[in-house]
Amino acid sequence: MPDLGTDFRGTSHLVAKRQYTIVLPGRKQKTVSEEWHGIVAQAILKAMTIIKARMLGMCMGVSRAQELAVAAANTGRTKGKNVFSYGPLIHNPQAIAKLEAKGVGILDVKAFEAGNLDEAVMNSIVVIRAHGAPPAVFERLATLGAEVVDATCPRVLRSQKKASELAGAGYRLIIAGDSEHAEVAGILGHVPDAIVVQNAAEAREAAKALATQEGLKLVVIAQTTIQKAEYSAIIEEISQCADECVVLDTLCPAATERQAALVELARNVSAIIVVGGKNSANTQRLFLTAQETGKPCWHIETAAELPAEVFSFDRIGLTAGASTPDFMVDEVENFLRKGVSDGNAL
Ligand code: SF4
């Protein structure tokens, strides 16, 4: 009898002593003995087709930051230095746990800003995450003797550079984004008098306050991950008050590409699995898109969360948010294909 491990029991139900009900493709149910459970289960797995979205999982910026952090951990081990990321590197608890196991701790940004962690940071290695950080943070880390590994995403770096250039040329900077987000804090560090607007209503208020200024030149920049519709609505409001308004296209296509690929995928499958951190905004949005397709769908972090019902569908679509590491997608795919979890490494 093929050995599927005890994990697979989650896809069937123990209904009596050594008796299992297995949910078959097409949602038919079959009660089998324990002996036959493994054999029938294997047949179900063979009948199931798994299709991955043509674009899924970790984006270039986060993937690069993760690689730099792993390299920093190796350097830290060699030099006998502590290694930290400046805030959580990835919005994904499993990836964070793997990094911590490799020796990358998380620096509490608020405690550092309050001056409470100077001693811990001295002579350590600090990795700046993909969102970037204000120049003052780089300077303070250097003053404390920390070795800085800059993993700011190249797209975010471009935004920071453009914002500085245009502010230097006399434009008032408007940042469309979340005022609490690290990427926005990083840009504000370059242009401290920039105005942050989080939505169209705030843009309207800002436009009213700015309307009295003669010869006003504005430049509008977006946090890379905000929604395109939200950015358009903000531009519509804010551009009314200026003589000149330059709009920069700084939106990152990583999220929209994954959403478009998911919509295509949905046409060819009977159910969808979205893999990624429950705390990841882009994975949550991807799951919303999955729900809008009308197909049965689930947002899970690990293979252990796969519901038994998944195995009643014959064509399963698999996608993952832009902060989901490959090992998590592989783990879910392997479980769906084999009924067992491999637990791959970073
Ligand atoms: S979402 Fe885009 S901007 Fe943000 S880290 Fe990823 S690639 Fe860079």
Q: What Å distances lie between residue 329 and 120, 183, 249, CA to CA?
A: 35, 27, 31
Does this model's pTM top 0.85?
no
Alpha carbon distance 69, 77 (integer Å): 12
**d(CA 253, ligand 1 centre) in Å:** 8
209 CA → ligand 1 middle, Å: 32
Compute, in angstroms, the gap from residue 224 CA to the centroid of ligand 1: 7
Strands in 195-197's sheet, in edge-to-edge order, are 195-197, 172-176, 217-222, 244-247
Residue 91 has a pLDDT of 86
Instruction: Give 278-287 pLDDT, tens digit per residue.
Output: 988 889 999 9
Name 273's bridge partners: 298, 318
Instruction: Name the residue type at position 39.
Output: I
Distance CA 229, CA 344 (A): 38
183 is a catalytic site residue: yes
| Predicted local confidence at residue 342, as pLDDT | 44
10-residue mean pLDDT series, the chain (346 residues): 38 52 57 62 71 96 96 97 96 92 96 91 96 96 97 97 96 96 96 97 96 93 92 95 94 94 97 93 92 97 87 90 93 79 39
Q: Using H for helix, E for strand and C for coil, what is the string for the chain?
A: CCCCCHHHHHHEEEEECCEEEEECHHHCEEEEEHHHHHHHHHHHHHHCEEEECCCCCCCHHHHHHHHHHHHHHHHHHHHCCCEEEECCCCCCHHHHHHHHHCCEEEECHHHHHCCCCHHHHCCCEEEECCCCCCHHHHHHHHHCCCEEEECCCHHHHHHHHHHHHHHHCCCEEEEECCCCCHHHHHHHHHCCCCEEECCHHHHHHHHHHHCCCCCCEEEEEECCCCCHHHHHHHHHHHHHHCCEEEECCCCCCHHHHHHHHHHHHHCCCCEEEEECCCCCHHHHHHHHHHHHCCCCEEEECCHHHCCHHHHHCCEEEEEECCCCCHHHHHHHHHHHHHCCCCCCCC
CA 339 and chain centroid, separation: 27
**Atom 6 in ligand 1: which residue has the minimum CA distance?**
61
Tell which residue, 112, 189, 122, 192, has the closest CA to residue 152.
189
Residues in the chain: 346
CB 38 within 8 A of CB 1: yes
Spatial CA neighbour of 90 closest among 127, 125, 143: 127
Using CA atoms of 209, 212, 216, 222 in order, give the dihedral in degrees to the nearest 10: 10
Q: What is the pLDDT of residue 31?
A: 67
59 lines ligand 1 (CB under 6 A): yes
Cβ of 254 closer than 6 Å to ligand 1, yes or no, is yes
Q: Are 177 and 226 in contact (CB under 8 A)?
A: yes
Identify the active-site residue in 35, 113, 180, 183.
183
Does the C-beta of 58 come closer than 6 Å to ligand 1?
no
Q: Which of 63, 178, 252 to mutate to test the pocket of ligand 1 (most atoms within 8 A of CB)?
A: 252
In this structure, is the dihedral angle defined by the CA atoms of residues 155, 60, 134 and 79, taken in order, positive or negative? negative
| d(CA 258, ligand 1 centre) in Å | 12
Residue 149, pLDDT score: 98
Cβ-contact 176, 200 below 8 angstroms: no
Ligand 1 centroid to Cα of residue 322, in Å, is 8
The residue contributing the CA closest to ligand 1 atom 7 is: 61
Q: Kindly report, residue by residue over 62-71, the tens digit of the pLDDT.
A: 999 999 999 9
Q: Which domains does the chain have, with CATH numbers?
A: 1-43 (no CATH), 60-153 (3.40.50.11270), 155-247 (3.40.1010.20)
Q: Report which of 314, 317, 334 is spatially closest to residue 326, judged by C-alpha positions.
A: 334
CB 92 within 8 A of CB 276: yes
Q: By alpha-carbon position, which residue is closest to atom 5 of ligand 1?
A: 61
